[in-house]
Amino acid sequence: MLKIGVFDSGMGGISVLNECYRRLDGVSYVFYADTDNVPYGDKSNSQIFKYTKNAFDFLLGQGVSAIVIACNTATSVAVARLRSIYYAREGLSIIGMEPAVKPAVETAKKRIMVTATPVTLREAKLKNLIDKVDSLHRVDMMPLPGLVKFAEKEQFEGDEVEAYLRECFEDTDVEKYSSVVLGCTHFVYFKPVFRKIFGNDIVLIDGAEGTVRHLGNLLNANSPDDVYGSGITLKRAEDYNKLPVYPETEYFMSGRFATDDEKAHIGRMHARIQKMIDDGSFFN
């Protein structure tokens, strides 16, 4: 069975792994969270590249055939160099993540707020993307580094989280916005709080679905009824909301096996996604 690596600076990447579980059959996974060094959003570019390359070398040692960088910050800093290193040497498929600005621009009726870590927002990769797709200049940006720390502590709602977001957006006229781009995999867990700030009609867009669809295309994933080809299939759309059957997954934290406590933490991150799906706050 094909083995896919999923890498993030911390536990936010579980949201992307969960998306993989819901959309693809016929693959196994190795999840690597660099919890010793999270958050990446306040690190230097050289540090981020070093940490990301260490994760790649480790995942290759586990026999993965493709790596999903489930971290917008690591993608913005390191993906170009990593592709030049590992594709030439290993033929490795590398799928990065970037804030989903393009679909937001294509569908937004009003202004668009792009949220991410400070590193993602300052890098040329995002600026070039916005220059390319935002011809009407409707995109604004907001760094939200505190959400990464809240997510790592599993503090997804409550007065402190809401107060943090309200303070960040206190000078923002939220009525001018129809879409918010969640440009960090940690931010997905806070969809209910974003709706409190921007209203229930706000469209929240993250990059997980597009990233996993891209992964499926690279793996030549077939339709659910196609039993030929790669042996990897796309799940039926009507099955998305169901609690996924977790495929074989190995979990590592900064190069060591996850402890029982860390596995329990991972389980709660998966459960948070399911809770939002069940209560209707996950979807627009």
Q: What's the CA angle centered on 95, arms 223 and 73, to 5 degrees?
A: 140
Catalytic residue chosen out of the listed positions 144, 184, 208, 266 = 184
Q: Kindly name the residue from 38, 48, 71, 204 that is annotated as catalytic.
A: 71
Q: 């402190």: which residue's tokens?
A: 160
For the beta carbon of residue 160, count every other beta carbon within 10 angstroms: 10
Q: Which residues pair with 29 in a beta bridge?
A: 4, 249
CA distance 15 to 273: 7
Q: Is 184 one of the annotated active-site residues of the chain?
A: yes
DSSP, collapsed to helix, strand or coil, labels residue 113 as strand
How would DSSP label each residue in 136-176? T--EEEEE-HHHHHHHHTT--SSHHHHHHHHHHTTTS-GGG
71 is catalytic: yes
Phi first, then psi: what are they for 25, rounded to 5°?
A: -120, 150
Catalytic site residues?
A: 71, 184
